[in-house]
Structures are given as structure tokens and as C-alpha cells.
A and B are shown apart, each in its own frame.
Chain A
Amino acid sequence: MTSQPVIKTRGLCRDFGKRHALLNVDLDIPAGTVVGVLGPNGSGKTTLFKHIIGMLIPTRGRVETFGTCADRLDAAQVARIGYVSQQNELPDWLTVGEAIDFYRAHYPAWDRELCRRLRGELSLDEGQGIGGMSTGQKQRLSILLGVCHRPELLLLDEPAASLDPVVRQDFLDLLMELILEPGRTILISSHILTDVQKVIDKVLIINEGQVHCHQDLDDLREQYYRITLNSLDGELPRTLNLTGLVQLERGGHSAVATVCNGNAVQVQQEIDQLGCQADLHRLDFEEIYRLIVTGK
């Protein structure tokens, strides 16, 4: 018997006027996974997050969070979600201390100790007015408010975009701490791939509203190879029989091929059959991302 996914979407479509922000998105995200939601600007990541928490309603299709239609989540279910938004929209007329008090009062499971610690680590002054804070400071406060009730489902929409390098490292440490707690599902969207790949289990790449990749990070890494081929005697064969060939740059005596093939043994066998000198190495994550998104 398999457990119910925390997030389930079927045929999720969202149109803004004539533009398709999301198109036929099918997802199953089980409990306890950490998913990196990646994609270029305007690809639909934030729109997907907003559908998951019920802030937007699909044009077509269905989104279920905790097994309930996302726009019909009850208070108890909403209390199990944490969301750090990209826009850091906070009540500007409150001070940091007042905002913390206000948010805390809505969550029975608020972790005061974590809140106190984060306030110190994120250098948040209780008396400071939110309206006068910089974007980075607001982002720190958003993170604090989003995680201190220890949500089961945490959605982080570019949480580190405005953080300085020191605070970003602290944030990653915090994220690791949260990940270690069993059963917590985290979706994190970011353009800083070096940070993201340290913490995620799965990758979800969205481009132009469509899912281009949704799989384990390790599996993804093991699928992509770059093979540099050099002919031992004369020209390379006219046709290179490589399964999953996605890119090929060739000269007369050499070629650089990029393949997507999860079967390492098969890749090696195919190289051997070509009768060339071959240098095989795996693509790093940023190269894979670029390849999936741009095809280059």
C-alpha cells in the first residue's frame, strides 16, 4: 500500500489571458521529499506554488494538497503549510516583533525556541518597522515567519534571492536542519543551482508552463554524459550509434556527443563498438539544467 502524495496535480492548466502559465502539469510529490523547482524567469514556478496553496484556482485540471482540493483547504491543513513568497508581502505597518506575535498567535505549533534563535541568526530587530526594511531584511523575516510553525509542507519561492552570502549559508544550514526532521516535504525554487543541489532529492524543471523533467537528482545526474570521441584511424563513422543522443558537435576526426541514457553499461558498450578513443564524463548539474531548458 502506497501512502497518499502530499501534492498531486492532474492536467493542471492556468491561463492568464492568452498566455499559458501552466500547461497540463501532472505531479505526485510524496511526503518527505525535497524538490527543487527550477526554471527560467516566468516559467510558471511561482504560479505552481500559488496553486498548491490554493491562492490561485486552476483554469483547468486539479490540484490536491494533503488529499484535499487546494482551494478548499481547512484551517488545520493550512496550518501544516509554510510559504515563503518571492515578493515578501508582509503587513508593512507592523514592527518585526508585532508581526511575529501576530503570526505566532495563529499557529498552535509555533516553535518559540526556533523563532528566538532565528531572530538572532537572521539579525532581525524586534522594534524595526517592516515598512522601513530592505528587501533582504524582509526576506529574512519571511523565512522566519514561514518556518517557525514547523510546517509539514514548506514552499520556498526563491528564498535566498536577496540574501547576502553569509545569511544565505545560514539559511542553507537551517534548511538542512528542517530537512532532517522526518516527514517534512519541501519545495524550493531558486536560480542558485549550486545551493539547491546541496539540499534536494528530486528535480522539477518547468519551462513555459510545462514540466520538462521530474525525477531524482541522482538519477538525473547519472543520465547525462559528455563523450569526446577521437578517431584512431581516419574519419569518424558517418553515423554515431549512441542511444539518447541529444547533442553532437563534430569535426573530421573528432566529435563531442552529449547523451541522455541512464544505462551506463549500454553507453560504454556503444562507445566500444564505435572503435574510437573516447573520453567519457558526467555533466554537472548546471550543464544538465541548461541542456534541458535551452537544448544547448
Chain B
Amino acid sequence: MSVLSAHFKLFDHNSKLGLAMFALAAVFLVLPAVIASHAHRNAWWFFMAALILMPAVMAAFTAETQKNLMSCGGSFLLPNLERTVLRAQGVVMAIVGTSVFLVAYLSPTLAPLIQGAFPTALALTLMTLALYCLVLLGNWLFAYAASVMSILVLPYLMLIKMGKVASLAAYRDFFSHAGTIIPVCAAIMLLAYLIVSRSHLTRRLAEQPYLSPLDLYRPAKARRFRNLRAARQGTAAAGRRPLQGWMDSCLDRAQRARSAGNESTALAWESLYLGLTEAVPRQWWKAGLLGLVLVLFSLATGYFDSRYASDPGGGLYCWFSAFPFSFTLIPATLIKYLDTGLPGHPRSRAANLAAAGRLLGWIVPVVAALSGLVWVLFRLAPALLPTLEIGSRSWYFLAPQRPHVPFLPLLVLPAMLVVYLLWRRSSAPSILSIAGFEIFILLHAVLNMGGYGWPLVAVLAVSCASGAAVPFLWRRRMRRDWA
């Protein structure tokens, strides 16, 4: 088992930090779900979403750790490393699958849905395992952003779909009718996972003469690249990538700003460059595929079975908010590199904060413009998209009812910045994404659940506060250790 323990340790240098994050995520997901399930007549969907989301979080952590392990020079010659990587994933999958099945089968919270039905619990387990594989695939094939997107956006889409449309009858109906579809879909996902894992689980240092953004975290390797221009040449060695020209101009602006003595502007442009370098896939087809999947998934969630669309419990408005929600990834990705001191560029806290402020000044208009665009597109979509007749059922694309939802990410941005100010770690994007997710859900809960929502809001607020406080305290302790 010792060979697997390295895969389970979180990628952060201090595993306690990662474990704290994971524990917080568990508390955040499970506790509100339990409370919500008792407070709201149909809130067991929240519990179920939490159940699906947890394995996705585990998959993301495992994938990140394993990517670090495989890109570490010292691991390059380890024989059968790929096999142990797969074995570790298999073990996680077995643990996750068993846990989800037992919880689904035995939990009184899900009793109205499952009612001790073995096939339903199995279908739910397969769904979570499929999501687990999806996150792993996203992480390997694309970038960190893809993994975060799969963790947060996809379950979120499931969550709103389940929460806002389905009644209990709808759920039972879904699971009974989807009894064959879900295992087939899950099997396809598992197959894709196995195929991709064979071809993509390669030791990344092999034939990698360029500097990856991840390498900027490794002072020993980054030191070899004397400055950012050398880093750019290093990354460009792998071929021109989407938005390469624009990214290069960011770097030029950074260097001009530094020459003019404007350090905070230089930091902001550098952070933008590094964030984009990491987030944008290296190939156009990957960027296109990623965008296509996101758009198709968003559109797919807009279609509702006509039989349940008239369910009085369903608000039928927030499905499209998942798309703008993904915009919270923008600040998460860009602010990340503010704290990554490049060799020869020690950074002061004051310069970092000024740069963060400058970045926020750029991010807000971009997110606002994107939100506006989404608002227009989704207003047009119901008129443009046809009704689908599948079997004996018809599926409608429903118009969103509350126009303000696309603009909720704008409210999330300042809160994310507060989290950043408290945390200020180079591993901030995951923290920011999780914080953004929590805050976003919080806003939804306030807006949608009325009186039933307040217990949920209280728990979420405590969760958010502790999410910010624990790392803050941990950081203070680290400062004392360093002193």
C-alpha cells in the first residue's frame, strides 16, 4: 500500500492544508445538505448533488498529485509508474464507489428516492464514478481549468437540473427509465478513461524541452530560465498555441511597465500571461472541444421534459446561470500567479495587492461583458432552438425567468478577492474557485429558498468564514515557524 500513499497525499507542500480544504469541502457539502433535506420538502437533491460532487473533488486532487508525481524528474525512471498511477486511481474509485453506494442505499435522507432499491443506488454510484473519470480525463487532457470546470460546473448543472425541475416522482421516473442508459453511459466513460489513460499517462518530462507553467513553481527548474522572455521562448518551443500572439503582447506590456518603474502593472500583466498560459489548452482543437462541450452541456440543460416542466416546484430559471458561473474561473486563474515569485523578481505585498486591484479592474468589465452576452444569447435561444421529440416524449428549451442571474458572478468577484487577500497562496485558484462556488450557492439560496433557505444560509456562511479563517490561521502559524 505504501506505493499508493504518495498518490493520496495532496499536491500541496503541506498536506495538512489540503486535508483542511478537503474537510471543509466535506462539511460544506454534507452538512447543508442534511439540514436542507430536513428544512425543505424537496431538498434531498442537494444531498445527492453533494454525493456526486465529493468523488469529483477527490478525482481532481488525485489527478493533480499524480501529474506532479509524473512530471517530477526524480520519478522519470521509476519502472511501472503508470501502472501504480492507475492502481491508485482504481483504489480511489473502489473506495468512492463503495462509499457512495452505501450512503445512497442506507441514508435516510435519500430514502424517499432510493427506498432500498438496489438498482437505483447502483445507478447513482455509476453516475458518480463516471464523473470521477470525467474529472480525471479533463485534468489529463486539458488543463487545471478543465478539471475545476468539471468539478464545479458539471455537478452544479446536475444540481440545478435535479433541484429545480424534478419532483420526487420525476426522480423515480428518471432512475427507473434511465436504468439502462446510466450504466451504458458510465461504461462508455470508463472505457474512454481506460483508453485515454493508456495513451496520455506518459511521463511528462520525456521530450519536454519547454517550460510548463507548473515548472514556474519549481525554483530549481525556473532558475534556468533567466527571465520571463526566456520562459516565453521555452513555452513557445512546444509550438504556437491559441491566443499566443495576444499572450505575448501581455508579456511585452509587462516588460514595458517594469522598465517604466510601474511594478504593480507589470505584475498584473505577468499574472495575466501566466494564467492564460496555464488555462488555455496547447492545441486549437482542445480549446474548441472544451468550448463546444461547455456550450452543448449548457444548452442540453436548458431542455426539459415537457411532463415535468409544469412542475410547480420548479423555478426553471437558473439552468443558464451555470454558464456565467464558469466566469468565476477567470479571476481564480488570473490572480493565481500574483504570488508566484519568478526568479529575480521578489515581490512585495504592497505591489501584489496593487496588482490584484488592477487585475480586478480588468476582470469586472470582461465578466460583465460576457454575462451580458450570455443574457442575450439565452434570451434568443428559446426562440431559435427546436422542440425535440425523443420516443414518446417532447423536450422544450425553456426561457429563463429571472434576468439578473447571469450577473451574479459580478457579485462573487469582490468576495473572491477578499478570500484572496486572506489566503494569498500560490495554490489560490482552487481555493478561489471553491470560495466562488460557495458564495454563488449562497446567493442562490438567499434568492430562491425563502424561509427554508435561512438555516442553509447560516451553515454556508459559517462554512465560508471558516474556509477563509483556517488557512489564514495556518498561514500565521507558518509565519511564526519561519520566524
Contacts and interface: CB of A to CB of B under 8 A. Distances in A.
Given A91-B6, A102-B2, A16 B13 contact: no
B225 to A, nearest CB: 13
A56 interface: yes
Interface string B48-79: 00000000000000000100110011111111
A13 B349 CA distance: 46
Interface string B157-174: 000000000000000000
B72 A91 contact: yes
Nearest to A104: B2
Interface stretch (B203-211, B276-284, B444-452): B203-211
A78 B2 contact: no
Interface string A129-142: 10100000000001
A103 to B, nearest CB: 7
Nearest to B74: A90
A89 B218 contact: yes
B69 A79 contact: no
Interface stretch (A93-101, A268-276, A286-294): A93-101
Nearest to A78: B79
A180 interface: no
Interface stretch (A80-88, A210-218, A227-235, A255-263): A80-88
A136 B80 CA distance: 29
B10 interface: yes
A93 B205 CA distance: 19
Contacts of A81: 77
A57 B74 CA distance: 18
B84 A105 contact: yes
Interface in A37-61: 53-57
Nearest to B5: A98
Interface in A143-157: 145
B221 interface: yes
B76 A53 contact: yes
B11 interface: yes
A166 interface: no
A242 to B, nearest CB: 45
A17 interface: yes
Given A94-B6, A105-B3, A129 B13 contact: yes
B5 A101 contact: yes
Nearest to A81: B77
A88 B74 contact: yes
Nearest to B76: A55
B188 interface: no
Interface in B229-281: 233, 237
B220 A88 contact: yes
B81 A93 contact: no
A57 B207 contact: yes
A145 B74 contact: yes
A16 B220 CA distance: 20
Contact of B77 (A17, A78, A91, A105): A78
A101 B8 CA distance: 14
Contacts of A91: 6, 68-69, 72, 74-75
Contacts of A94: 6, 9
Contacts of B81: 106
A102 B5 contact: yes
Contacts of B13: 92-93, 129, 131
B73 A87 contact: yes
A79 B68 CA distance: 21
A53 B15 CA distance: 32
A106 B80 contact: yes
Contacts of A57: 206-207
B77 A102 contact: no
Contacts of B205: 55
Interface string B192-219: 0000000000000111010000000010
Contacts of B311: none
A89 B209 contact: no
A265 interface: no
Contacts of A71: 206-207
Contacts of B207: 55-57, 71
Contact of A98 (B9, B77, B218): B9
A1 interface: no
A151 to B, nearest CB: 9
A191 to B, nearest CB: 18
Point out which of B11, B12, B74 has the most chain A C-beta atoms below 10 A from its C-beta. B74
Contacts of A82: 77
Given A85-B73, A87-B221, A105-B3, A79 B11 contact: no
B214 to A, nearest CB: 12
A56 B210 CA distance: 12
Contact of A89 (B5, B6, B10, B221): B221
Q: Which of A56, A82, A93, A99 has the most CB of B within 10 A?
A: A93
Given A91-B69, A101-B3, A75 B79 contact: yes
Contact of B78 (A17, A55, A101, A106): A106
A150 B218 CA distance: 29
B79 A87 contact: no
Contacts of B79: 75-76, 78-79, 106-107
A75 B209 contact: no
A85 B73 CA distance: 8
Contact of B6 (A55, A75, A102, A142): A102
Contact of B74 (A93, A98, A142): A142
A119 B3 CA distance: 19
Interface string B1-32: 01101100111110100000000000000000
A106 B220 contact: no
Nearest to A105: B3
Contacts of A76: 79
Interface in B77-97: 77-81, 84
Contacts of B84: 105-106
B234 to A, nearest CB: 10
Contacts of A131: 13
A78 B83 CA distance: 14
Given A16-B209, A91-B68, 17 more contacts: A17-B237, A75-B79, A76-B79, A78-B78, A78-B79, A83-B76, A87-B73, A87-B220, A87-B221, A89-B73, A89-B218, A91-B6, A102-B2, A105-B3, A105-B84, A129-B13, A142-B74
Query: Which 8 pairs across A and B sit closest by C-beta, in order of nearness?
Result: A89-B73, A105-B3, A101-B2, A75-B79, A79-B79, A102-B6, A90-B74, A131-B13
Interface of B: 2-3, 5-6, 9-13, 15, 65, 68-69, 72-81, 84, 205-207, 209, 218, 220-221, 233, 237
8 contacts: A53-B76, A83-B76, A85-B74, A89-B73, A91-B69, A93-B12, A93-B68, A106-B3
